[in-house]
């Protein structure tokens, strides 16, 4: 019995094909001769914007100038899927000239034909991508919408210049690293990047891509764990009547894996949620390194699925991890100015609004959400302050633009399609594609007209049907959340049943669903906080991913009601650590702490008064430090404050809010140089201070003079650390003031570039203190 190989043909079958009778080869060659040519007129038609052979309803291709746009579709509808049987047929796509199937190289000839077909697709219909339904054009050419993204090498946090760097990274031994995992939040441009790579290969504009004979760009929302690579290529990329023999293509891929680049878009959207290694098809086996080890693979995913992808079953070292960060601050400014061209005041107003908000600044890094901000600002010159409100206003705008917003249609439609959306998200195969019959007809029609849903004709395994998808996965999650909010009122028991199902499957998998569900809904927020506390009590803290997700949800709720007491105690403990968080996380953290401080101020700050130690490390956002400092007034029993390595903090605003009972203050690694006159006056108030660390703070001699003068009033100061400050040649300015610190036991001056004259000043001025036990380290 012959067992088919992973690519649809066994090695024995491949051998038989290589030895096929002459008449069979001639017959195959005749087919190729007669039908594998693409005329110049056909090629031009493929490139013509008005002739894109669209199958999606209510969509049209356009290729013209206008407002800048971005492909915010992380999961646009895939191209028409193809039958699984081999195809040698007329009307072939993409073969640039008649080619005969040679007896000694049938696989090479098929690869040539496949290359032409793929390049024709990526240059033509595949080069037009859907943009947001809240702008006028449904599709734009990739060259119009692509904007260079920030790509960060995950482990080393090094900025890459382009995607070419990903494909050229090597191991210590000098071998190319063939697997790359690209992570990025929803809407950060992962799909756009893959579209651009495929397009650049097709038009030959990238030197690093020229070594690849075949580039396969596959949407993982149409794949299962058992999916086969060649099947997926026929289903998603090749025309139904393409003259490519499946077995020969399989053979070429196996024999020449180094000439193949596979782009897998959206691992988090894979239809299979519970992976079983024994059920893996060739696509997942390529990722795991069990097949085609010379093949190059780039796979994208949301961060929530990174550890599911990088595991013993799938991706292992060596691989390259790249974070797709979206737009830089400079990119945001450029984009907003282009969008509001001719309206500089509007552009300036929007940029000022974004800059004033930590959350909006973070959301603006997403090309998808920045476009939405531009659209909403142009209409109202105002922006909402949460992601949930941003999507809510975006949905409302979509319906208004299409004239479908009368009689409360928006809420009804979103809730109705949300029921289907939720069922898809929770199904074992995570359905992102639906049948028309899944929706109530009138609701489906309105959602299609608005552009929230899209519909296209797809073919798979000789079957053809209409497939309905949400424009973007976040649209599906927002709609599902709207349904859940409505369900809490209509059927609380069913709501809790579904909420527990979500949590049992893993809260991080449903981050956006949970955040949207809390959006401006106090009741939902409180119930979700309760479930977080019950299910993840041991994992709730400012340092855990689960704790930060819970705080994101609380922020989206904008609730005046505090979470359950046990929930608060999980975060507000005797010792708090906050380190290395991004703006989105810091925004949620400070919102939670401020709410606790504000809503318990009349009861003696019952929670925050229990904090004794506060550590904040590697926080580069000044606004967070300033807002956190205000809440520290409520930490009345705080005795240790550690704000090491936070770059440019405002020491003036921080120190003025410190409780006077502080014993230990660590400010090492912060740039405080040239500003000591502003904040030293606050040091005088810390009468209980016993240890002060100002190492590596860029202090100069004049700063040190201010510091020393302020310390005269601190009777209990026993340890002073000044390591790493450039104090060379300045000891005469400050030694006499330090002399007044009668209780000083240890003085650290290592790495301060002290001269011999400085050391003499120090020895003479501090001689009495040394007699009393002062140790000086230089």
Summarised one tens digit per residue, pLDDT across range 628-647 is: 888 888 898 999 999 988 76
pLDDT in tens, 415-463: 999 999 999 999 987 888 888 999 999 999 989 888 888 887 665 655 6
Pairing type for strands 150-153 and 320-326 reads: antiparallel
pLDDT score of 65 more than 90: no
pLDDT band at 649 (very low <50, low <70, confident <90, very high): confident
Residues 138, 131: contact at Cβ < 8 Å?
yes
Q: Residue 265 has what pLDDT?
A: 93
Give residue for tokens 């947001």. 132
pLDDT in tens, 693-724: 999 999 998 999 899 888 888 888 999 999 99
Residues 470, 478: contact at Cβ < 8 Å?
no
Can you tell me the distance from the alpha carbon of 71 to that of 61, in angstroms, rounded to the nearest whole number?
A: 14
pLDDT in tens, 129-143: 665 665 555 566 777
pLDDT in tens, 225-250: 999 999 999 989 998 888 888 899 99
Percent of the chain with pLDDT over 70: 83
Mean pLDDT of 380-405: 86
Q: Residue 459 has what pLDDT?
A: 57
Question: For the ranges 168-172, 253-257, 662-666, 680-684, which has the lowest average pLDDT?
Answer: 680-684
Give the phi and the psi of residue 327 in degrees, each rounded to 5. Answer: -85, 145
Distance of CA 308 to the CA centre of its chain: 16
pLDDT score of 340 more than 50: yes
Q: Residue 133 has what pLDDT?
A: 60
Which residues partner with 168 through β-bridges?
Answer: none
pLDDT in tens, 473-511: 889 999 999 999 999 999 999 999 999 999 999 999 999
Q: Residue 140 has what pLDDT?
A: 67
pLDDT score of 157 more than 60: yes
pLDDT score of 767 more than 60: yes
pLDDT in tens, 280-306: 999 999 999 999 999 999 999 988 888
Can you tell me the distance from the alpha carbon of 607 to that of 399, in angstroms, rounded to the nearest whole number?
A: 45
Q: Residue 654 has what pLDDT?
A: 81
Q: Residue 7 has what pLDDT?
A: 35
Number of Cα atoms under 13 Å in the Cβ half of residue 588: 25
pLDDT in tens, 573-622: 999 999 988 888 999 999 999 999 988 877 767 899 999 999 999 887 77
Q: Residue 457 has what pLDDT?
A: 65
Q: What is the mean pLDDT of the chain?
A: 81
Distance of CA 132 to the CA centre of its chain: 18
Tokens at 36, concatenated? 């594998």
Can you tell me the distance from the alpha carbon of 161 to that of 206, in angstroms, rounded to the nearest whole number?
A: 14
The structure's pTM equals 0.71
Can you tell me the distance from the alpha carbon of 540 to that of 533, in angstroms, rounded to the nearest whole number?
A: 8
């Amino acid at each position: 019995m012959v067992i088919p190989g992973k690519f649809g043909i066994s090695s024995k079958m491949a051998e038989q094909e290589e030895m096929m009778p002459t008449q069979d080869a001639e017959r195959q060659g005749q087919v190729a001769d007669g039908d594998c040519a693409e005329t110049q007129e056909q090629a031009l038609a493929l490139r013509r914007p008005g002739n894109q052979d669209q199958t999606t309803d209510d969509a049209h291709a356009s290729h013209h100038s206008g407002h800048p746009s971005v492909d915010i579709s992380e999961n646009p509808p895939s191209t028409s899927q193809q039958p699984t049987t081999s195809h040698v047929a007329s009307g072939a796509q993409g073969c640039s000239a008649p080619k005969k199937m040679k007896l000694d190289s049938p696989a090479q000839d098929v690869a040539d034909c496949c290359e032409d077909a793929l390049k024709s697709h990526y240059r033509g219909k595949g080069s037009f991508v859907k943009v947001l339904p809240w702008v006028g054009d449904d599709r734009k050419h990739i060259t119009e919408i692509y904007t260079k993204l920030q790509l960060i090498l995950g482990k080393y946090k090094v900025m890459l210049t382009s995607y070419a760097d990903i494909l050229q990274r090597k191991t210590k031994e000098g071998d190319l690293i063939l697997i790359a995992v690209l992570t990025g939040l929803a809407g950060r441009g992962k799909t756009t990047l893959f579209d651009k790579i495929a397009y650049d290969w097709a038009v030959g504009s990238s030197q690093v891509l020229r070594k690849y004979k075949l580039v396969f760009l596959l949407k993982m929302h149409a794949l299962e764990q058992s999916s086969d690579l060649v099947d997926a290529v026929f289903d998603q990329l090749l025309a139904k009547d393409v003259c490519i023999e499946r077995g020969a293509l399989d053979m070429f891929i196996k024999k020449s894996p180094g000439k193949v680049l596979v782009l897998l878009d959206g691992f988090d959207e894979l239809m299979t949620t519970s992976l079983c290694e024994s059920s893996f098809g060739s696509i997942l086996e390529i990722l795991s390194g069990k097949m085609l080890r010379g093949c190059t693979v780039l796979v994208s995913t949301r961060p929530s699925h990174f550890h599911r992808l990088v595991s013993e079953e799938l991706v292992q070292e060596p691989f390259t991890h790249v974070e797709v960060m979206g737009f830089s601050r400079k990119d945001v400014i450029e984009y907003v100015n282009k969008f509001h061209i001719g309206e500089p005041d509007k552009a300036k107003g929007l940029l000022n609004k974004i800059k004033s908000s930590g959350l909006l600044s973070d959301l603006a890094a997403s090309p998808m959400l920045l476009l939405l901000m531009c659209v909403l600002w142009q209409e109202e010159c105002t922006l909402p302050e949460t992601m949930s409100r941003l999507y809510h206003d975006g949905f409302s705008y979509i319906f208004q633009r299409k004239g479908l917003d009368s009689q409360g249609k928006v809420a009804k439609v979103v809730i109705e399609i949300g029921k289907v959306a939720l069922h898809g998200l929770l199904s074992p195969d995570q359905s992102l594609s639906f049948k028309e019959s899944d929706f109530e007809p009138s609701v489906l029609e309105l959602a299609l007209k608005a552009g929230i849903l899209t519909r296209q004709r797809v073919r798979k395994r000789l079957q053809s049907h209409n497939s309905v998808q949400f424009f973007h996965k976040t649209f599906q999650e927002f709609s599902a959340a709207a349904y859940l909010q409505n369900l809490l009122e209509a059927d609380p028991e069913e709501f809790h049943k579904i909420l527990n199902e979500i949590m049992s499957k893993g809260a991080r998998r449903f981050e956006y669903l949970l955040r949207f569900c809390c959006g401006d809904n106090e009741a939902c927020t409180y119930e979700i906080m309760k479930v977080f506390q019950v299910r993840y009590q041991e994992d709730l803290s400012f340092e855990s991913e689960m704790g930060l997700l819970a705080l994101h949800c609380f922020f989206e709720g904008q609730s005046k009601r505090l979470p359950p007491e046990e929930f608060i105690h999980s975060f507000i403990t005797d010792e708090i650590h906050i380190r290395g968080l991004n703006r989105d996380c810091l925004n949620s953290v400070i919102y939670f702490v401020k709410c606790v401080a504000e809503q318990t101020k009349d009861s003696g700050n019952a929670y925050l008064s229990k904090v004794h130690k506060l550590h904040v490390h590697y926080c580069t956002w000044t606004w967070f430090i300033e807002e956190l400092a205000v809440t520290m007034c409520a930490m009345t029993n705080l005795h240790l404050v550690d704000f090491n390595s936070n770059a440019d903090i405002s020491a003036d605003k921080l120190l003025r809010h410190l409780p006077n009972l502080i014993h230990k203050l660590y400010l090492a690694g912060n740039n405080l140089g040239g500003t000591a006159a502003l904040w030293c006056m606050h040091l005088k108030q810390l009468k209980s201070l016993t240890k002060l660390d100002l190492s590596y703070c860029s202090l100069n001699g004049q700063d040190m003079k201010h510091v020393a003068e302020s310390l005269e009033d601190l009777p209990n100061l026993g340890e002073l650390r000044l390591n790493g400050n450039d104090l060379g040649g300045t000891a005469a300015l400050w030694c006499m003031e330090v002399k007044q610190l009668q209780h000083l036991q240890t003085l650290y001056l290592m790495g301060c570039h002290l001269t011999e004259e400085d050391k003499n000043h120090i020895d003479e001025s501090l001689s009495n203190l040394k007699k009393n036990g002062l140790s000086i380290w230089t």
